[in-house]
Amino acid sequence: MTEGSAINPYLATASLLVIALLQTSAMPSLSWLGVMPDLMLLVVVSWSLLRGTREGLLWALGGGLFLDLLSGGPFGAATLSLALSSVITGMGEFNVVKDSLWLPLASSLLVTVVYNVAYWGILQATGRSLHTVYTLLRVMGPAIMVNALVMYPTYWAMRWLHQRAS
């Protein structure tokens, strides 16, 4: 984790709320193959890579709570899925290639799968019937591609915020 002060909690809360609002209101109109970028997931992944597990997890919990409040999914599904994704991403802080140009992309690919499988599992556990093959082919595959395309602009924006907050 980078040494420095934590980001202002009011700025973090406002940022997460704006991202959740974008995710639930603007992103659906930007869908591709019926899939939209998981902006909150990419923000949490970026923040976890830049600031470490602890701060990434805080952003996952806050962002997940806002998504759960604004979405029609089971309450807690986004929060749990984002938290798991953040912890897995945060493992990268122990990686010797932390500054690799490829780490944000590789992380986004991995956690898109983790997030979607966790969310799908929670939907299944709460009684929502989903077809496994359809979910894998028509949702997760395009989600991986869309998130990969959006990861670097998201990461650079979060890096800019990280540098201003340090």
Single pTM value for the model: 0.89
Give the model's pLDDT for residue 2.
43
Share of the chain above pLDDT 90, in %: 55
Indicate the class that CATH gives domain 9-165: mainly alpha
Q: What is the DSSP string of 107-139?
A: HHHHHHHHHHHHHHHHHHHTT----HHHIIIII
Q: Which whole-number Å values give the CA distances from 151 to 51, 63, 71, 126, 127, in the listed order?
A: 17, 17, 22, 30, 32
pLDDT (0 to 100) of residue 38: 94
Give the mean pLDDT of 101-118. Answer: 92
Domain boundaries, the chain: 9-165
pLDDT in tens, 62-103: 999 999 999 888 999 999 999 999 999 877 666 555 678 888
